[in-house]
Amino acid sequence: MRELVDRTYRDDSRRVLATLIRLLGDFDAAEEALHDAFVAAIERWPAEGVPANPRTWLVSAGRFKAIDQLRRRAAFDDRRAEIERQLSELSHQEPVITEDGDIVDDRLRLVFTCCHPALSPDAQVALTLHTIGGLTTEEIARAFLVPAPTLAQRIVRAKNKIRDARIPYEIPEHSDLPERLDAVLATLYLIFNEGYSATFGESVTRSDLCGEAIRLTRLLLGLLPEAEVMGLLAMMLLHDSRRAARSSSDGELLLLEEQDRSRWNQEQIREGIELTERALQSGPAGPYAIQAAIAAVHAEAKRAAETDWAQIVELYDALLRLGASPVVELNQAAAIAMRDGPERGLERIDRLLARGELASYHLAHSARADLFRRLGRTNDALAAYATALELTTQEPERRFIEKRMATLRGH
Amino acid sequence: MKYLCLIYAEEAAFGKMSQDDASKMMGEYMAFTKDIQASGKYVGGNPLQPTSTATTVRVRNGKVSTTDGPFAETKEQLGGYYLIDAKDLNDALQVAGRIPGAKVGSIEVRPIREM
């Protein structure tokens, strides 16, 4: 029985919470009610049997517990009038919990509320992982390398803003949907990236962020099958498929061309490619679908030498047509170097650096250094690596550059 | 629920505006005000005189101190406000986005604390 309740908690607690937030209109009260509902389940299911629909049972148990709470508070709180108003609202409102429609809607409401642009990106990430992902504040704090009290504070502040500024618990109207969906996708991508860019030599928790981002994006796709949601999920899966191959046995960063491709996760690649194709077929390609397509081209190459660089350069063109970005231009320059030779790539990077935007971006300098290296211009390569080394803050990157410099000096 | 929409803009730029641009802006504000009045969301609103007319009052240890200013230390200054009655924050942000000043400056949207 205890196991069954635990499993119900794992599978259903977030859905129940999403509905309770709508019914109670308050994140904290809903969390408390959720907790009380599960306590009631542990007490009553063994004697009364497991209800036919545990989720609906939990929602109504939570709602009754919340009404109890309010009654008790009304007895000796000086804000009695306000509490009584809430009480009568709550007692008269029918708890609408039809199985599919409303519950799906409640979870979407929760996603859009947690990723509301009136909250700071940091707060969106924390609230999303906590409320939708069910992670504890300690877990999130560890994953983002911030002290737990800071993280807890961030969540409290976000919940207060939702309440005090009255951020509505609703799915945006059709006209606002694309813009608001962008904010949701950006938050999920931020969670993924945080895990992906810091997987090396860090605690396992950080790489778990990738898994959590994938799980949340999959959930969103189930609720809202839009092309860009497919594209984002595809991109995450295709990047994550390389995780085992991204570092050597001694924990060093390995470039795409150095990775043992037999260690790529074929299951994730298959799903990623399928989703990319579906995303590209369902209308004009958005930025996530195009980035997924680029990752898919890499995934399809059995060996690095077989990579279809011409197609990748074209995909970057498509991406740049959607919005100018110096970082995307840098990536395209690297692809051009592979297609047309290092000189052509260097010309592009030098032109980019001359514009100034990327002057302090370490990857621009290490990309430049790599092209010098391939041209046999050792001194230029060493100088560019030295600049990159000064600018980088990540330990694995630093070790990678130092290794490259040592190899060059050895020549 | 009520929200105060504070309109911030570069005061200096406003002073340098041509007669034509200034009357165009005025026209836009009048149209906008009429529009939210018709929608029932308008509670109040006014443009303010420039910060050079501002005075700050503080009471410390029972003594009133009055100082000139504050003068523009930040890039944008408070130039006017609307008090609106909106359904929720999304509704309020929607209204704020239509305030003509949003195109040149910025609008700070603050929920009113009901006492």
| DSSP result, A156-175 | HHHHHHHHHTT---SPPPTT
pLDDT of residue A139: 85
pLDDT of residue A383: 96
pLDDT band at A104 (very low <50, low <70, confident <90, very high): low
CA separation for the pair A19, B2 (Å, rounded): 27
As for the ipTM of the complex, it is: 0.74
DSSP A192-236: HHHHHTT-TTS-HHHHHHHHHHHHHHHHHHHH---HHHHHHHHHH
pLDDT band at B91 (very low <50, low <70, confident <90, very high): very high
3-state SS assignment for residue B59: strand
Which single residue is written with the structure tokens 């109040």?
B44
Q: Which of B84, B90, B110, B112 to mutate to test the interface with A (most CBs of A within 10 A)?
A: B90
pLDDT of residue A77: 64
Identity at B85, one-letter amino acid code: D
Residues 6+ apart with CB under 8 A from B83: B2, B3, B4, B5, B43, B44, B45, B112
Contact in structure between A233 and A210 (CB atoms under 8 Å): no
What six digits make up the tokens of A272?
Answer: 């990623």
Q: Kindly identify which residue of chain A lies nearest to residue B89, measuring between CA atoms.
A: A167
Q: Kindly identify which residue of chain B lies nearest to residue A172, measuring between CA atoms.
A: B90
Q: What is the mean pLDDT of chain A?
A: 88
pLDDT digit string, tens, across residues A190-245 = 889 888 876 444 444 566 789 989 999 999 998 899 999 999 999 999 999 998 89
The more confidently predicted of residues A271 and A7 is A271
A167 and B111 within 8 Å at the Cβ level: the answer is: no
pLDDT of residue A203: 43
| Other beta carbons less than 10 A from residue A368's beta carbon | 26
Contact in structure between B9 and B113 (CB atoms under 8 Å): no
Residues of B in contact with A176 (CB under 8 A): 90
* 100-129 in chain A: CB under 8 A from chain B: 116, 118
The more confidently predicted of residues A76 and A192 is A192
Residues of B in contact with A170 (CB under 8 A): 90
Contact in structure between A162 and A155 (CB atoms under 8 Å): no
Q: Which of B2, B89, B91 to mutate to test the interface with A (most CBs of A within 10 A)?
A: B89
Average of pLDDT values for B108-115?
91
φ/ψ bin of A394: left (φ > 0), alpha (ψ from -120 to 50), beta (otherwise): beta
A183 touches chain B (CB under 8 A): no
Average of pLDDT values for A377-390?
95
CA distance B14 to chain A (A): 28
Residues of A in contact with B84 (CB under 8 A): none
pLDDT digit string, tens, across residues B44-85 = 999 998 888 888 889 998 888 888 877 756 788 999 999 999
A166 and B93 within 8 Å at the Cβ level: the answer is: no
Contact in structure between A55 and A15 (CB atoms under 8 Å): yes
Using CA of residue A53, residue A55, residue A56, residue A58, what is the dihedral sign? positive
CB-neighbour burial class of residue A10 (10 A; exposed 0-12, middle 13-18, buried 19+) = exposed
pLDDT of residue A91: 67
pLDDT digit string, tens, across residues A248-269 = 877 777 888 899 999 999 999 9
pLDDT of residue A393: 77
CA separation for the pair A185, A188 (Å, rounded): 5
pLDDT of residue A194: 81
